């Protein structure tokens, strides 16, 4: 598994945990990440779509939301080839 796939899998696992255990609904994001992992060539497309999704980049009000956003930014940086 490449670093990008590892980061994507970690972010997906974190999203599933938040979704299941903290009553935070990210079903759409989870589905998009699952699809991106199934077809890694679409990872940049998913990142581009998520960058435009205001529902993901709101001002975090909880530690769980802040952590999610931190991990999404890290994943986006990995996809875009930036240092994290």
pLDDT at position 1: 41
Residue 12, Cβ neighbours under 10 Å: how many? Answer: 20
Compute the CA torsion angle 60, 33, 1, 45 (nearest 10 deg): -100
Residue 43, Cβ neighbours under 10 Å: how many? Answer: 22
- Listed by start position, the domains of the chain span 3-79
pLDDT at position 82: 60
pLDDT at position 40: 55
Tens digit of each residue's pLDDT (9 = 90 or more) over 26-83: 777 777 777 777 765 567 777 888 888 887 778 888 898 888 888 888 888 888 876 4
Residue 12 in this model has a pLDDT that exceeds 50:
yes
Residue 2 in this model has a pLDDT that exceeds 60:
no
């Amino acid at each position: 598994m490449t670093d990008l796939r590892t980061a994507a899998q970690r972010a997906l696992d974190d999203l599933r945990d938040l979704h299941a255990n903290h009553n935070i609904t990210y079903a759409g994001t989870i589905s998009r990440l699952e699809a991106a992992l199934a077809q890694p060539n679409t990872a940049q497309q998913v990142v581009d779509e998520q960058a435009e999704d205001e529902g993901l980049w709101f001002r975090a009000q909880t530690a769980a939301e802040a952590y999610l956003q931190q991990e999404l930014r890290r994943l986006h940086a990995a996809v875009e080839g930036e240092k994290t």
